[in-house]
Each structure stands twice: as C-alpha cells, then as structure tokens.
Chains A and B, each alone.
Chain A
Amino acid sequence: MKLLLIEDSQRLRTTLATALTRLGHAVDAAEDGEEGETLASMSSYDVIVLDLMLPGQDGITLLKKWRQAGKDTPVLLLTALDGIEDRVRGLSQGADDYLVKPFALEELAARLEVLTRRRHGMADSRSQIGPLEIDFAAKTVKRGAEDILLTAREFALLEILARRPGQVFSREQLEARLYNEETSPLSNAVDAAVYALRKKLCPEGEPALIQTRRGLGYVLQV
C-alpha cells in the first residue's frame, strides 16, 4: 500500500520508511506539517502515519484540516503522548488509530493492515479470490495447498489488484501506489512486475488471473 509518513524525528522517520518499504509499502516521508500537507495534496495514500508533535503545524491541526476538507484517508497517529486525553483528542479529531511510542514494527504494520482492510470493508485479513487464498496480514498467498512465494513488491502489486478484483488499474495508478515520490522506476517496471507476478500465480496451462486490457491497464479477473 502507499503510505505517507509525517514524523519530525529524522532517525525514526528514516528507519520507519526503510522498514515499511521492506514490507512492500510505498512510503513517502515528510519531516514537518507543511511538507506532509503538500505531499498529501499531491498524491493519494492508503494510510497516513502522522506524528502529533510536529514543528510548525502540529499533527492535530493538519488532521482537522484534512477532515474539514473531506479527506477520508485513514490516519494513524504516532506519538509519544500517552495520556488518555491526548488519545481522545486525536481520535475525536478524526484519527482512525493511535500508536504510542515506542512501538513494535510488527504492531505498526498490523495496524496499517487493519486500517486498509477496514477501508475496503473487509472483516478478515484473509480473502479467497478465485483459486487464490490471500492473507493480507501475514502477506502470504496460496493456490490450493501450494504456497506461492512473492517478493514484497509483488505482494504489494497483488494486494492493489486483489483489494478490488475486477477493477482495471492503469499503469500510472499502479506505479503511483507501488513507488514513492522519490523513486523513479524504469518505464517498464510495472509491466515487468505484472509479468513476474502473473507467472508465479498461474501454473503453465492455466488461464492467467491478471489480465491485460489494452490501452487501459491490468485487472485481477476471477
């Protein structure tokens, strides 16, 4: 999924961005409220991870702005303030979840997954799509009894398509969701990733699950 991380601690920002990228997410990072606001206005994100205490424009102000403007991207607050009133304040302003520092990367990843699932109206992290059994939390895919091993990027691509089966995604849309703002993928990177994923998902002789719609993009057809 595509994430926006707004965190003023340079070390934490870099570390989280690295870890989340390793987990297959496309992460854009901002060091203050202004930069975060700019990035959020330029791209569409699946989840925004927002620190409360930011230099200049603080997290709550930013969150209020977004909610008042009708922006419904799930926001996970990430902060060192652990008081009940701080949590309530954040949640009442429109935050979808709250994580107190220090936290485990695993917990952050799980909460991000829950937020995404909730956005897509899924009660369970596991989903049966055609012959595929996908666990979005465990990031595993099975075809029948056979485990399919995917790279983080491949799983991210599958997740985008599998969250909305039957919906056509253009190459640009996939690129925007797979790569962050600072990465300039090769022009055929998406095509190459789709090709590799398609091969792993379908044994030879079986109809391809990911189909190409000429001039439109790709779709997971079940």
Chain B
Amino acid sequence: MSSIRRQLTATLCLAAAILLPAGGLAVYWTAENLLTDQFDTTLTAKAQALITAAEIDDDEFEIDFDVQAFAGFGQQSSEDYYQVRFANGESLQRSPSLQLSDLPAQPAALLSRGPHFADITLPDGRPGRAMWQTFVPADDDKKAYGTLTLAAASESVSLNHTLGILAGVLLVTGGVGLVATLLLLRLTLRHGLRPLDALATRVQDLRPDKPDQRIETSHLPGELQTVADKINDLLSRVQASLARERRFSSHAAHEMRTPLAELKAMTELMVQWPEESTPERWKETLTIVDEMEALLGKLSLLSRADSGGQSVIHEPVDLQQTVDACVERFQPAAEARGIHIEPSVHPGGQAFKTDPVLLQTVLNNLLGNAVSHAPTGARIHVEAAPGYLSVTNPAPELAQEDVGFLFDRFWRKNTGRQNGEHSGLGLSIVAACSSLMGARCEASLSPAKALKLEVKWS
C-alpha cells in the first residue's frame, strides 16, 4: 500500500540529496572562479608593470629593477616568477626567483597575443598559476628583439588552500545539512501529517451502528477540513439512506404485521369458537391473503426496480388503447363514488415507444390513487400524449407540505390503517417505473387544491 508520508519523504529526500550537493558545487565553482579571476588580475597587473618597464637601452633588453622589486619579482626568495623569451622560445631574461630554472613555455594552443593563463607546476614543484603575454619592448628601434613573450607566474598554494578549505566547509556543512534536512523533513512530515493520522483514526472510529456520528472539523487544517466536510456530507447521505431503508423496513414490517394479525386473530377465533367460522369470515381471510399477495407484489416490483432487475422493453404503444383499458378498469369504482373520469389522449404524429407493462403500471397506480382519494363526485382528468402523461384530481385534504412526501414509500396522509387497500406504495411505484422508462414523475398542488401528477419522458 502506498503511503503519502513515505512518498513525500522519498521525494523530498531525493530532492534534498540532489539540490544540496548541487548548491555546494555551485558555491564552490563561483568562489573558485572569483578567486582565480582575482589571482589572474593581480598576476596581470604585475606582468603589465614588467612589460611597461621593459625597454631596449643601448641595444640591451632591460626591466627597471625598481619596478621588478615593486611588482614582487626582485628577490630570489620571491613567490613570483617571470621569464622573457624570444619568439623562438629562447630565454632572454628571468626573475631572480627562478635562478636557473625556466617557466613553462607558452602552450602551443595559446600562441596568440594573450594574455593566457594556465595552472602550472613551479620549478620547485609547488603548484602555481602562470600567464603569458606577448609584447614589443620599448625603444627597440632596430627591431633587434622583435616580439617577445613574457611569462609571469605566482605560487597558488594559498589559493588552493583557500579553495580546499572552502570545499571542506561545503562538504561538511553540506553533509551535516543533508542529514539535518532529512531528519527535519521526517519530523516535519510526521508533525504535518499528524492531523491526517488523527482524521484517519477518527474515520476508523466511526461506528456503523451510529450513523449520526460526524467528524469535528474546527481543529483541522484547511486542507483537511474540505476532506472532513466531504466525509461528513457522505455520512449525512448514508444516514439519510439508512433512515430511509429503516423506515422502509419498518413500514414494510408494519404493513405485513397488521394483515398477519388480522389473519391470525380470525383463524384463532374460528378455531376456538367454531360457530364463528362463517363463510363471510372465511371470505374475509381470503381477502386478507389477496391483499398480502398484492403488497408482496408491490414490494417485489420496487425491489426489482431498485436493483435493476426489472426488464424494460421499449416498443410502440397505443396510448388510446392503454388509457381506455385503464379507465375501463377503474370505472366501476369511480361510479360507486360518483367520480367522473375524463380521459384526453393526443396520439401525435409518430409512434410512441416505451415499455407497455411499466406504462400500464404507472397509469393504473395514478388513476387508482385518484379514484381512491378524490372526494365523492369529483372529476379526474387523464391526459396522455407521446412522452407525457398526467392525472389531475381534487385533493382538498392535501397540504402543500405533503407534496414532498407523496413519492415516499408507505407514506399516507393518514397514518392509520382502515383496511389493506392502500399500502402507500402506489406513487413510489409510479416514480420507480417512470425512472425505469427514462421518465420522471412530478407532483404539484394548485392553490385550488388540485393535485396534478405528471410523468414526463426525457
């Protein structure tokens, strides 16, 4: 399993391991260049002093001794060296410090006017740095000397020593810094990720049997507050879903328990007092069984719809025929209550394709619901068109706040149970079937208390 801490530690350690040495190298390189430039500038100044002081006097090449001394070339024990050579490489003059030794000739690759610089080994074996510069001595009117080459050199032990110290310091501080950085990174990550660990522990502590638990977000850093808010939001939705499920199970149990109680009481009554075993009572027990069967059918349909197990076959449907069949089915019940059903079908120019079984289920439930709940003598309007279906009926007992619950399973305006006819599942079946057909069901209550249930195909 990947770990954010491990990933961050690895990435940051790698970055530190690359960046810290790279930074040290950059510092060393910059310091080396600066010191070398400074060294070269000093050497150049000394060489220029010699060149300026070089002249032909009485056909003799000479460099003023005062200038040599001033430039640091005058003593045998001097740390500075020079040597003047003819163009053919033959030595013309050398500093006392060289005694009989020679400075290296100008490298072939640097045979141009110069100045040119290079690291050399001094005749005494010490490291040094030299520069070569061609020049024409003053007053060489006869051109007897021609172009000469001045090689000037100084020991670079102190420069190398300084650079060595710098390298050492950089190496030690870099190493210590790297180790310290790694430790600091580890500590910082551990400390920085502590709220994440705390959040993980809190999430782990959430108990499935306590869906009302939430994560306290006030003490969390901003980045994790968003995560915790999302988790809390998810918990709220899970809680709502669990509550819905629990309500559904409770209602389902309630709906089954009551007819079971009726059935059991009736049967016991007839067993204990056989004279109570009348045909009417047996017929009633059969009615209870039928109602339970119908309820199970509804629950099964909803279960199939929820799990996606209900097959949906889209094929052309005859709207007129479907509506007529439904109206005919509920006509006797409507007439018994003095209710008038007014169907209005607009077939449209093209064939309407949907699942005929689900459409019939939707229409049966809508119309059945309207016939059962509309007041005596009311008018029910049924309107159907390709992609549209609506049933409108007066609902004087319904309040505006009830509309939101109409599609809730087992919801009834009245919580009591007069008999087993109405389980409160009709409209939730309508909603589920509409969804399966690719339609949505909406309910609206007009100020005049007319309830309109519409199914709209998208």
Chain A residues at the B interface, C-beta cutoff of 8 Å: 8-12, 15-16, 18-19, 22, 31-32, 53-56, 58, 80-83, 100-106
Known: A80-B258, A101-B257. A8 touches B276 (CB 8 A): no
Inter-chain contact A8/B261, CB cutoff 8 Å: no
Instruction: Mark out the residues of chain B between 221 and 259 whose CB falls within 8 Å of any chain A CB in the assembled complex.
Output: 250, 253-255, 257-258
Inter-chain contact B250/A54, CB cutoff 8 Å: no
Inter-chain contact A80/B257, CB cutoff 8 Å: yes
Q: List 19 A-B contacts (CB under 8 A).
A: A8-B417, A9-B261, A9-B262, A11-B419, A12-B262, A15-B262, A18-B276, A22-B269, A22-B272, A31-B418, A53-B254, A80-B258, A81-B254, A82-B257, A102-B263, A102-B264, A103-B261, A104-B264, A104-B268
Known: A55-B414, A56-B416, A83-B250. A15 touches B265 (CB 8 A): yes
**Interchain CB contact (< 8 A) of A10 among B254, B260, B265, B418:** B418
Chain B residues at the A interface, C-beta cutoff of 8 Å: 250, 253-255, 257-258, 260-266, 268-269, 272-273, 276, 284, 288, 414-419
In the bound complex, CA of A103 to CA of B264 (Å): 7
| A-B CB pair tally, cutoff 8 Å | 82
Question: What does DSSP make chain A's interface, helix, strand, loop or mixed?
Answer: loop
Known: A12-B265, A15-B269, A19-B272. A102 touches B418 (CB 8 A): no
| Min distance, Cβ B410 to any Cβ of chain A, angstroms | 11
**Interchain CB contact (< 8 A) of B416 among A54, A100, A103, A105:** A54
Chain A residues with CB below 8 A from B261, complex form: 9, 12, 80, 101-103
In the bound complex, CA of A56 to CA of B418 (Å): 12
In the bound complex, CA of A222 to CA of B288 (Å): 50
In this complex, the member of B257, B265, B415 whose beta carbon has the largest number of chain A beta carbons within 10 angstroms is: B265
Kindly report which residue of chain A lies nearest to residue B276, judged by CB atoms.
A18
Kindly report which residue of chain A lies nearest to residue B256, judged by CB atoms.
A80
Inter-chain contact B269/A9, CB cutoff 8 Å: no
In the bound complex, CA of A95 to CA of B415 (Å): 20
Inter-chain contact B254/A80, CB cutoff 8 Å: yes
Inter-chain contact B264/A11, CB cutoff 8 Å: no
Chain B residues with CB below 8 A from A53, complex form: 254, 415-417
Kindly report which residue of chain A lies nearest to residue B270, judged by CB atoms.
A15
Inter-chain contact A10/B253, CB cutoff 8 Å: no
Inter-chain contact B253/A19, CB cutoff 8 Å: no
Inter-chain contact B250/A81, CB cutoff 8 Å: yes
| Min distance, Cβ A103 to any Cβ of chain B, angstroms | 7
Inter-chain contact B418/A8, CB cutoff 8 Å: yes
Known: A53-B415, A53-B417. A12 touches B268 (CB 8 A): no
Known: A81-B254, A101-B261, A102-B263. A54 touches B415 (CB 8 A): yes
